[in-house]
Amino acid sequence: MRQILKPFLLLFTLSSILISCTKDETTIELPVTAITVSNLPADTVLGINPTTGMPTSAGKYTFFSLERNEVVSNTDSASTKWDLAFASTKILINGGTSGTAMGGAFIYTGLFDDVKTISNDSVFKTDNAPASYAITYGSGKGWYVYDQLTSLITPLAGRVLVIRTASGKYAKLEVINYYKGGVTLPITASDSDKLSKQRYYTFRYTYQPNGSKSF
Amino acid sequence: MKLRLLYFLFFTPICLFSQVTFVKDTIQLQGDSVVVTATRSERKLSNVTVPVTIINSKSIQQIGALRLTDILKEQPGLTMTSGFGAGVQLQGLNPDYTIILINGEPLVGRTAGVLDLNRIALGNIKKIEIVKGPSSSLYGSEAMAGVINIITDGTTKIPLQASIRYGTYKTIDAGVNQAVSSKSIFYQGYYNYYSTDGYSIRPSSASRVTTPIHRFASNQQFKYNLSSSTNIQVGVRFTNEQIKNDISVTNGGTTIHSNGEEKNTDYNISSTLNHRFSNFLKTSFRSYVTQYNSTQNLLTISGAPYIDVLDHLFNRIENQTDWIVNKKLTAIIGGGTVMEGVKSSRYDSEKVRKTNANQYAFSQWEWMPNTKFIFIGGVRFDHNQTYASAWSPKVSMLYKINKQHKVRLSIGEGFKAPDFRQLYLDFTNAAAGAYSVFGTAQAQKVIGQLNTLGQIGTLYNNYYQLKALQPEYATGANLSWEFEPNAKNFLSVQLFRNDIRNLIEVQQVGAYITGAQIYSYLNIGRAFTTGLEIEAKRQISNTFSISAAYQYLETGDKDQIAQIKSGIVYTRDANGLSRRLNLSEYVGLPNNSKHKAQLKFNYSNQNGLFGNLRALYRSKWAVNNTNGNEVYDNGDSFAKGYIALHFALGKDYVNGFGLQVGCDNILNYIDAIHLPNLPGRTFFTTLKYQIPQKHKL
């Protein structure tokens, strides 16, 4: 069925481009596509503090540019080169108390594919550390839940991070997994695995380079 | 009016009490035993209009059950839960919704709604009656899923009985029981001592799932017959337990020990004055006092002591009058008053007892138009000081189609009053993010005060909806069909449905300026449980019998189902991408297994030899909402289904001695996380002695 449909789809897409060409000859819109980023480390765990029992880490954010789909050096933390910064479950935007650029975000409840256009009455929040963050963190408050019984972190299904980038463009992002290899560990995994394999983000995002709010 | 009553007393010619004849346990499968719980009066099991299960002392002894938990876990349709002690789940409803009675009087001392059934020793129990379906029309609050009534042995003459049992984990149980009586005085005393070393089934942990425990229980009953028509009964029950807590936490190679002691004491005193005016009218005045005190003394890691106290005092005075109006109509009219109070270190002050008063009246009418039909209608009204009042009606009927077939139908309302915790909790967890939970009786006052002090950041809409809590309500229906072709075969099929509304749930009502959450309780939830129970018994020969039972259960949160239907509940596909959850993936309420089944083989001969093999199956159940979508679905964590296999063998000798050996959990099934109350394979030996009687019972 799919095999048969494919040529028709292609034909349909081509014809719609042709039609749009005739209507508006100045721009040809290429559909924006979703990009998947795997195993992005986010201040990974180095060990355990023997007195507090809390995990220890370098305490450094991983800066990421959605526009260029690459990690930005920590030396550029004060620049407009990055859009998001990741450290454990905390995700910063480049704006407010976290950065100097135009970054902002809000969390949409629904499916990634359902975010076709950001409505004009949507309010983009900016970071206001330590009281609040545009991408709220804490179990069940934003994009993930932490299970005290199993010590595992699970990104919530049906949460889309709608982002205004450093340069004021728009993107939508869904966190898929928080563990190395993109698969949440089984509850029976050892404590040391649960620590050493966490803080590796797998996410997909769509970046709209033309500045519009549509994807 | 008085004259009319007198007319009935003296001139109504037929004595209906003759209907109620005590029948000794026979070898018949459904020996027509007497039930008191179903109607608050003595009725033959075959004349009861609601589903009732009777567990007699013989079956308790033959499986070697020690505590109430041991026997209830082997009943069809009952499931044991393991948070806050061992509770019982009936028709898919949590332990909070089943009232536990001893000789008709309620037991108190619930932690988070659970009454630990290990508190009750089974040594001098005559029988246990379980009524399924809402029974608040007779018993008031908590009788929403059903009633479990433990009836102690009131036999006037019991020769001295003593037993001692020893088993795995140094478990010792010793009991002494005796009843003596003269013409007008009856006394029975029962003493029980139980201790265990506890066990650990988590390999890497030194802490024990069941901690070392010592329990002492005593039970005294006095009865004094003033005359043939008036008697006075006094029952005293006392239980004292000491639990040693050794908690070891290993973190990063360092093990930290903390230890402490938990002391629970519990007494019940019930006094009854029974008077029989005539064969048609009798009345009883009952007064009941019970107190449960639980004190936990822990030394935490830092060396600071931690004390947690719960003290529940319950007083009740009640009258019940049974009246035989005429040949076809009997009535019960009653009423009473309850004064209760709880002190807890989790309330604003542990010195002040929070109190509640409750007055109630009930009436039940039983109509037998002919030998085939029985109709019962009843209603109870509960008026409360601290929460809304409740009406609980119930109607039920029995139709004896013929000697082999019976149909029972009952529809009733059940309720559960808000408990003290939901009214008075004043708890701030300093360790985990300083969140607070306030009971509704003072939530608005306390939060209002915090607000004037500038500590409140936000108040949600539901903060303004906080008001006096209402009871949780359930409407339950039970339909059953019984088929008993002869004395050797029995089959019953029962359908049930419970619709629960006004469920009290913890909700966030606001936040501190620090962002820490503030919770309180609101009547918001709606849920249902529905299912099917099948029971079959067959006496294969004079010595050998077999019984089987099956329960199918469906449960669900109605609001969650509505959310799934409207497409706002999500899950992930095989690639980890979000998608909408389908209703077919929804599994309902947690801790409920869809399928439960049991198969029991029983042997017992004339020479006192008996043996049994029991297999109990429970299918998987949801334990944790791992994917965080707030509903339990196929993507969440489940405990695996399992089979527990138990065996016991014993012999009673003519000279009064008895010997029993047994093995529980033969297959050694262990699930440390989800079944902490199920130790691995355990063995036991019991030796008992009873002074031989001249004539057999």
The ipTM of this complex is: 0.81
Contact assignment for B578 to A49 by CB distance below 8 Å: no
Task: Indicate whether A70 and A139 sit together in one domain.
Answer: yes
Instruction: Identify the pLDDT of residue B252.
Output: 47
Same domain? For A83 and A123 the reply is yes
Q: Which of A48, A174, A202 sits opposite B252 (nearest CB)?
A: A48
Report CB contact under 8 Å: A154, B627: yes
> What average pLDDT score do residues B231-241 get?
92
Task: Check if the beta carbon of residue B52 is closer than 8 Å to that of residue B480.
Answer: no
Cβ atoms of residues A199 and A177 within 8 Å: no
Q: How far separated are the first and last CA of chain B, in Å rounded?
A: 47
Q: Judge whether A140 is closer than 8 Å to chain B, CB to CB.
A: yes
Q: Which of A143, A161, A165, A145 is nearest to A153 (CA)?
A: A145
C-alpha pair distances (Å), B122 with each of B69, B90, B117, B210, B628: 10, 20, 11, 20, 42
Dig out the tokens for B50 from the structure. 């609601």
Q: Measure CA of the first residue to CA of the last residue in chain A; give whole Å.
A: 28
Say whether both A46 and A131 belong to one domain: yes
CB B235 within 8 A of CB B221: yes
Cβ of residue A136 closer than 8 Å to a chain B Cβ: no
Amino acid at A59: G
Average pLDDT, integer, range B156-169: 90
Instruction: Judge if A91 and A144 occupy the same domain.
Output: yes
Residue B247's pLDDT is 60
Are residue A84 and residue A125 in the same domain, yes or no?
yes
Whether residues A18 and A36 share a domain: the answer is no
Do A64 and A125 lie in one domain? The reply is: yes
Please check whether residue A38 touches B, CB under 8 A: no
CA–CA separation, A111 vs A157, rounded Å?
8
**Per-residue pLDDT band at B254 (split at 50, 70, 90):** low
Structure tokens at B685: 């030996």
Contact between A92 and A128 under an 8 Å Cβ cutoff? The reply is: no
Q: Is the peptide bond before B679 cis (omega within 30 degrees of 0)?
A: no
| Tens digits of residue pLDDT in B21-69 | 333 333 334 456 889 999 998 888 888 999 999 999 999 999 999 999 9
Say if residue B2's pLDDT is above 80. Answer: no
Q: Do B570 and A140 touch (CB under 8 A)?
A: no
Provide the pLDDT for residue A4: 47
- β-strand B185-196 against A90-93: which pairing, if any? unpaired
The answer to whether position A215 is within a domain reads no
**Does A159 touch chain B if contact means CB atoms closer than 8 Å?**
yes
For residues B395 and B409, give the distance between their C-alpha atoms in angstroms, rounded to a whole number.
8
Instruction: Write down the mean pLDDT value for chain B.
Output: 87
Q: Is A150 on the interface with B (CB under 8 A)?
A: yes
Please check whether residue A157 touches B, CB under 8 A.
yes
* Bridge partners, residue B653, by sequence: none
**Nearest-CA distance from A145 to chain B in Å?**
6
Alpha-carbon distance of B669 to B680, in angstroms, equals 6
Nearest residue on chain B to A141, alpha-carbon basis? B628
Q: Report the C-alpha gap between B348 and B331 in whole angstroms.
A: 45
Does A72 lie in the same domain as A91? yes
Number of neighbouring beta carbons within 10 Å of residue A9: 10
Name residue B112's amino acid: A
Please name the member of B515, B578, B626 whose beta carbon is closest to the beta carbon of A154: B626
What residues of chain A score a pLDDT lower than 70? 1-30
* Number of compact structural domains in chain B: 1
Is A86 contained in some domain? yes
Question: Cβ–Cβ of A157/B571 closer than 8 Å?
Answer: yes
Tell me which residue of B134, B124, B184, B183 sits closest to B158, measured CA to CA: B124
CA dist list (Å): B358 to B338, B386, B387, B403? 5, 9, 10, 44
User: Rounded to whole angstroms, how far apart are CA atoms B374 and B366?
Assistant: 7
Asked whether residue A139 falls in the same domain as residue A168, the answer is yes
Residues written for chain A: 215
Q: How many other CB atoms are there within 10 angstroms of residue B71's CB atom?
A: 22
Report phi then psi at B97, rounded to 5: -100, 10
Give DSSP secondary structure letters for A160-190: EEEEE-TTS-EEEEEEEEEEGGG-PPPTTS-
Do both A75 and A15 map to the same domain?
no
- Please compute the mean of the pLDDT values over residues B492-501 and round it to a whole number: 96
Q: Which domain holds residue A93?
A: 31-208
Query: Which residue matches tokens 């109190």?
Result: B355
Domains contained in chain A, number? 2
Confidence grade of residue B173 (pLDDT, cut at 50, 70, 90)? very high
Residues B139 and B316: their CA atoms lie apart, in Å, by 13
In a domain, B696, yes or no: no
Q: Are residues A86 and A9 in the same domain?
A: no
Which CATH number characterizes residue B172's domain? 2.40.170.20
According to the model, what pLDDT value does residue A148 have?
A: 74
**In this structure, are residues B110 and B293 in contact, taking their beta carbons and an 8 Å threshold?**
no
> Could you say which DSSP state residue A132 is in?
B
Query: Phi-psi bin for A140: left (phi > 0), alpha (psi -120 to 50), beta?
Result: left
Domain span including residue B103: 2-690
pLDDT digits (tens, 9 = 90+) for B307-344: 788 899 999 999 999 999 999 999 999 999 999 999 98
Q: Are A186 and A153 in contact (CB under 8 A)?
A: no
* Residue B503 is assigned to a structural domain of this protein: yes
